[in-house]
A and B are shown apart, each in its own frame.
Chain A
Amino acid sequence: MRRPLTLTVLLASALVLGPAACGGAPESDSAAGGDKKITVYSGRSESLVKPLLERFSQESGITVEARYGNTAAMAGQLLEEGDRSPADAFFAQDAGALGAVAKQGMFAPLPDDLTGKVPETYRAGSKEWVGVTARSRVLVYNPDLVQEADLPASVFDLTKPEWKGKVGVAPTNASFQAFVTAIRVQHGEEKAKEFLTGLQANEPQIREGNGPILEEVDGGKIAIGLINHYYLGELAKERGTTPDTLKAKLHFFPGGDTGALVNVAGVGVLKKAAEDPDVRAFVTYLLGADAQKYFAEQTYEYPVVDGVAPPAFVPPLDQLTAPDVDLNDLDELEATIALIKESGLVP
């Protein structure tokens, strides 16, 4: 019989390679604090965050146990875990997820010397989370298909007939949803509903995420699309080139238009780790010049701390005319979701 032998070989090789996976039971150690070890739940991609965490560990001597996952599922995991969560800090992709966890009272307020580093616009009023980097909503366009002069002045123009079938949208994406909440906050329910209904009636090109929209705009398959600014940097990096050599160009809606909403990725500290100096060192590091520079260069986001240069292919943060929307108001999600569902943009 050859089969058992093959199975044995498979089994043996797994046993040899396997021990790497033998994670021990979770350690809820940090209540004591100061043991040079922290656990971070990261809703941000491992390939972006891991190198930074390694640098932090090298410099501080603090070991970081990092758990990576989808931001939304990870927020769900934290809520399930409640008080027994092994996590000390949650590094999330968007303010909405941080807000959902904060709402359950799981975060401890951050000390003023940390929150003070970040402009008020980019942190929780309750100080339960703080923005680490900022990202702007933009309109990406293909100059072969749309002249710069013809670009819409406002995101609300996208419901007009001239854009029928031409707009790429990712309605299941959390950043799209934050944008819709911003419309509600800035202009009211009626306007938001009208916009979504108009957008859906205009036969948008719906995609699963911002990445595919950008690729298709760059490839000339879609004329324009609503995405976040840093995707241009990511695509250029994958192609081994710089953003300015890509076909796709970015258009920042002017004059405080909701279409130019600036949102954040940020971090919150779990209650049990409120006093842990290692966790505080970690948050301090994220807001330090080194980490901020890393984000600007590697993830193409805006630094939120003074004195660090933004990525080269976008105008600096203070020159953007972001809409006057308080990020703390973006946790009113239920009505937004109801509107998006009602519009028929998502199943």
Chain B
Amino acid sequence: MRTRTRRPLLLALSVVTVAVALVPVAYLTVRTAEAGWARIAEEVLTVRTARLAVLTVGLAAVVTAACTVLGVASAFLVVRTDLPGRRLFAVLAALPLAVPTYIAAFAWRSSVDGFEGFWAAALVLTLCSYPYVFLPVAAALVNADPSQQEVSRSLGRSAWRTFTGVTLRQIRPAYAGGALLVALYVLSDFGAVSIVRADTFTRAVFVAFDLGFDRTGALVLSTVLVVLTMLVLAGETVTRRRGARYAHLGGTRRTAARQRLGRARWPAAAALAVLAGLALGVTALSLGLRMLQGVSRPGAWAEVAAAMGNSLWLSLAGAALTMALALPLGLLTAKAPGPVATVLDRLAYVSHALPGVVIGLSLVSFGVTLAYPLYQTTWLLALGYAALFLPLALAAVAGAAAQAPPVLEDVARSLGRGPVAVLRTVTLPLVLPGIGAGAALVFLTCMKELPATLLLRPTGVDTLATELWTHTTVAAYAAAAPYAALLVLLSSVPAWLLTARTGILTAETSR
């Protein structure tokens, strides 16, 4: 049988990974237990909690559905049709990842009167999150074996029935994984919901902190988020189907023939342009206006440069640690699937939907009691980023590893190669692009993170996100704007790398 020898090590390392991801949950459990049953009941068993639960789940459902439709549709248009300006649209569709939701929501709120409530939050979150679906789906569409569709068409199925019956099935793991990340992100988002005043659990958690410094109440409420996350994960796991894995190694890769859009060509391009305008244009315009109207200025350029260097360094440390932790677990789920791997993988997702302030406080507690030498150093912050963003890395690694057919490794082993040689010559080369994509995604998400960064950063270290926050709290919007612009610009580099990785840009030229 295959690769059994490698499992114990992978398993042990995966347990370490999961332990990191569970630090916040352990903290929550301890603090909630300390609060006592009476307090828990008082906080959780209320009409308010029920209302928040309905609204939170509703928001997650609406945004996830919208992101799935937008992500799949734009990926299909960009990869599989003769849409004009495909490459430009591919890059534009990934760029919203570079815009933090708190900036987007602020821009919308100050541009549109009465922009608040559930649907306002749904709009901002959808516009900021649909790349989570677009990117993996675009990559899957580029890589999917076109022969299945050709068979379907040649057997007389219409283009639409081929799309729903064959293409959608092929890319299911891609959009399901992306949709899961979107759903969990919505549960954890604070920036957008607080600015447009949509009532969700995460907002209630932050309000509990701000209002009366009610740590216990905030933490008890957070446990409900963990439960909601587990329900989402369980739902996703149950509906997951295992498809066969296909891959092209070496030789020539074939991309499916592009469908002709005919008269729909320009309307489709216009629709994507409107989408990009909403997702990027509104924010850019609003930031530009703020910059022109205000007279405050950021500190010396040296300060701006230092904040930029710190952002890059801290995010790099976060991405490196997260990838190192994700790799064994990602490989385990791909190479040794089974109940153990599934449970470990799901557990690593549990903290992803927790608000950053809870993650921050849990690592403060962990650092102070168990890892004091690390406290207020880069590495404890990196650990916080890892606890928050492991799922982004896991999805990328597992996705890449799953595309590597196990039979290739079996063949390599049967031809007498040792496990290490197989890992080096077969597994890693296949997974490497996935690691790169995961790292880029984690990197840019770390750059945007604020609440945990504020609590865990080394004393005296400012990043672009913290500087942005500092200035906006005293209405110095013009001083804040350069930090916001730099943050978006720097994040767009990994966003662009992610687009490039899908193969959309190169597939274009090989045609």
Contacts and interface: CB of A to CB of B under 8 A. Distances in A.
Contact of A173 (B210, B213, B373, B494): B210
B465 interface: no
A191 interface: no
B376 A14 contact: no
B477 A238 contact: yes
Contacts of B373: 25
B473 interface: yes
Nearest to A13: B312
Given A39-B459, A46-B462, A177 B309 contact: no
B479 A47 contact: yes
Contacts of B211: 172, 174, 177, 337, 340, 346
A73 B357 contact: yes
Contacts of A307: none
A23 B377 contact: yes
B461 A20 contact: yes
Given A18-B312, A21-B458, A234 B474 contact: yes
A14 B113 CA distance: 41
A172 B364 CA distance: 25
A82 B364 CA distance: 11
A84 B462 contact: no
A89 to B, nearest CB: 13
Interface string B196-209: 01011001100111
Contacts of B476: 47, 234, 237-238
A145 to B, nearest CB: 15
A68 B307 CA distance: 14
Given A17-B313, A18-B312, A334 B475 contact: no
A45 interface: yes
B482 interface: no
A25 B374 CA distance: 6
A65 B460 contact: yes
A14 B378 CA distance: 14
Nearest to B313: A18
A132 to B, nearest CB: 17
Given A26-B375, A69-B454, A208-B195, A174 B296 contact: no
Contacts of A13: 312
B436 A7 contact: yes
Interface string B429-445: 00001001001000000
Interface string A322-339: 000000000001101100
Contacts of A70: 210, 454
Interface in A18-52: 18-26, 39, 45-48
B204 A347 contact: yes
In terms of DSSP, what is the predominant structure of the interface of chain B?
Answer: helix
A73 B368 contact: no
A189 to B, nearest CB: 16
A81 interface: yes
A208 B197 contact: yes
A17 B308 contact: yes
B295 interface: yes
Given A14-B312, A347-B200, A97 B372 contact: no
Interface in B459-511: 459-462, 466-467, 470-471, 473-479, 493-494, 497, 500-501
Contacts of B377: 23-26
A80 B364 contact: yes
Nearest to A81: B368
B294 A46 contact: no
Interface in B281-318: 293-296, 299, 305-306, 308-310, 312-316
Contacts of B316: 10-11, 14-15, 18
A26 B373 CA distance: 7
Given A23-B378, A86-B376, A72 B455 contact: no
B229 interface: no
Given A174-B210, A337-B212, A347 B199 contact: yes
B424 to A, nearest CB: 17
B302 to A, nearest CB: 10
Contact of A68 (B313, B470, B479): B470
B295 A240 contact: yes
Nearest to B479: A47
B223 interface: no
Contact of B376 (A25, A211, A346): A25
B365 interface: yes
A270 interface: no
A73 B375 CA distance: 17
Contacts of A215: 110
Nearest to B469: A70
Contacts of A153: none
B342 to A, nearest CB: 31
Nearest to A64: B460
Given A84-B372, A238-B477, A341-B48, A23 B212 contact: no
A25, A46, A238, A337, most chain B CB atoms within 10 A: A238
Contacts of B314: 21
A179 interface: no
B215 A238 contact: no
Given A20-B313, A333-B213, A234 B207 contact: no
A221 interface: yes
Nearest to A346: B207
B34 interface: no
A91 interface: no
A96 interface: yes
B194 interface: yes
Nearest to A334: B212
B435 to A, nearest CB: 10
18 contacts: A14-B315, A17-B308, A23-B461, A24-B377, A25-B375, A26-B375, A26-B377, A73-B360, A77-B360, A80-B361, A81-B368, A100-B212, A172-B210, A172-B211, A174-B210, A234-B476, A238-B476, A333-B212
Given A22-B378, A47-B471, A81-B364, 17 more contacts: A4-B436, A10-B312, A14-B312, A23-B377, A23-B378, A26-B376, A47-B299, A47-B474, A72-B209, A77-B360, A77-B364, A84-B368, A172-B211, A208-B195, A211-B475, A235-B475, A347-B48
The 6 tightest CB contacts between A and B, nearest first, are A23-B458, A17-B309, A18-B313, A240-B295, A347-B199, A333-B212
